Amino acid sequence: MSLEDRLFERRYQKIHEIEALGFATYPRKFDYTHTAGEIRTNYGPLSGEDLEARAVQVRVCGRLMTVRRQGKAGFCHLQQQGERLQVYVRKDEVGNAAFELYKKLDAGDVIGVEGPLFRTRTGELTVRAHRLSFLAKALLPMPEKWHGLRDVEIRYRQRYLDLVTNDLVREVFVKRERIIQALRQALVERGYLEVETPMMQPIYGGALARPFQTHHNALDVDLYLRIAPELYLKRLIVGGLDRVFEINKNFRNEGLSMRHNPEFTMLEFYQAYSDYKDLMDLSAVLLRSAAEAANSGSPEVEFKGRKIDFSKLQRLSMKEAIVEFWPSDNTRPRPDDLNDPERVTTLVDIYNTTIGSTLPLPANASPGACIQALFEHACEENMIQPTLIYDYPVEASPLSKKKPDDPNWVERFEIYAGGMEIANAYSELNDPQEQRRRFEEQVDQRAQGEHEAHEMDEDYIRALCYGMPPTAGEGIGIDRLTMLLTDSHTIRDVVLFPLLRPEGEIGVAERLRGMDETTNNEEQHAD
């Protein structure tokens, strides 16, 4: 038997010993009067004399993080909602049974304490225990107390343990919720209605991505987990809901990376009677609000050792960005060079020679695809400060409205910060005939093996035939934005339960089964 198995068995035996002392091992509830945080907030400023004069009685509960026993007395620390509180236990104050319970407690156990507040000789705010309640047993040992949980694989797989032992991890997810609430509040204040759209869809759309597929048995139809809520939200615009938003889960059957998780969270919002320029100003407000919510009112954050200022949002056209971030002054083009299809092909060759490698482009790539590739390779990772890139090639934007003065470009923008994309917006295409034609182009691409191309969505075309007003729409990646605002360097650090490969080892359930078999054998032997 391994050391870990012996520790598990010993802790399991303690459950029966605690029960023999007269304590319920898994009680239904505990009526507490204060949380640990409330005690610290309300009574932390008081002196020991003030606490004694007020005779403040509390009932508080939490997880034991440390236990220090010293003969007939001892100390322990409870943790609740990220706050720690010391408890002092004396045998002559809690009684024999409760003190025996205290002697059997392990780090990780969950208990309740009742008693007055006081300050120790060192001045630490402490609960003097008069009663102890046992609430749950930690059968598995906690990580070493001084270093916390460091193994990345375990941290992501056992997020519950990560949250218990790493205060900074808990703070990331507290900030994530503040970010979401700030975005929600800013939109509601501007007359937006929060809605919900289907996660299972008969036709996926709204983005260029591969879907996850499932099957509905009762209807005997294949369905897809949504890759984006866009086409449903725009149906609502047709229906007269002029400003709508959804904070939604999307699913894309793609690879894993520092910035990609197959399940991710987006904020998408749509505003009727508007174009993409209207959303540029709103985006600046939303990003600043989120940054201030996560960082105690400051729009400045640190990400990978660099200061990022969300009070500013630089604006560049895609052509201007390519020129700005071109890797060599000697070969730097002019923005007008990107208007000439033949010149674009030549620029790709020049760029490849300059960087000493070859851009990944399909054979016979269109000028727009070449421009998009140049932008992604030359610009994206270099945009550290918040930067809005506007006007995109039509080939990369099948749902965007064309620019009136140049049909090769569409009214679209993306926002970058920290070297990654965090938002995407455009003036929505509302011409049903043009939308049908673009869907047909996507269908042709799909037939040629492009798995991320759109399918034809007849109902969406029908909705457009009833008339959709001029509309602008935008999506903001909550996970990536949270990465930036919490200085988290991988998306797995801001997703509570990121997707991982299944475990291959024998789990805790097998150990519990072994404990049950041992207990049953002992009972049969006693009979």
Helix ranges (DSSP H) in 400-457: 432-447
- d(CA 327, CA 303) in angstroms, rounded, equals 24
Rg of the Cα trace of the chain? 30
Backbone angles phi, psi at 125, to 5 degrees: -65, 130
Backbone angles phi, psi at 114, to 5 degrees: -130, 135
Helix ranges (DSSP H) in 62-158: 91-94, 96-104, 152-157
In the block, tokens 């798995």 appear at 451
- d(CA 294, CA 289) in angstroms, rounded, equals 9
- d(CA 229, CA 247) in angstroms, rounded, equals 10
| Predicted pLDDT of residue 294 | 97
- d(CA 425, CA 192) in angstroms, rounded, equals 17
Backbone angles phi, psi at 156, to 5 degrees: -75, -35
Q: How many helices (H) and strands (E) does the chain have?
A: 17, 20
Which uninterrupted H or E stretch holds 410?
Answer: strand 406-417
Backbone angles phi, psi at 157, to 5 degrees: -75, -35
| Predicted pLDDT of residue 282 | 97
N-term to C-term CA, the chain = 27
Inter-residue contact 76 to 66 (CB < 8 Å): yes
Inter-residue contact 253 to 211 (CB < 8 Å): yes
Inter-residue contact 107 to 99 (CB < 8 Å): no
Q: What is the mean pLDDT of each run of 10 residues along the chain (527 residues)?
A: 83 95 94 97 96 96 94 95 96 97 96 97 97 95 65 87 91 98 98 97 87 95 95 97 97 90 96 97 97 97 97 96 95 91 91 92 87 95 97 84 91 97 96 91 82 84 97 97 97 94 70 66 51
Q: Encoding tokens for residue 233?
A: 């939200």
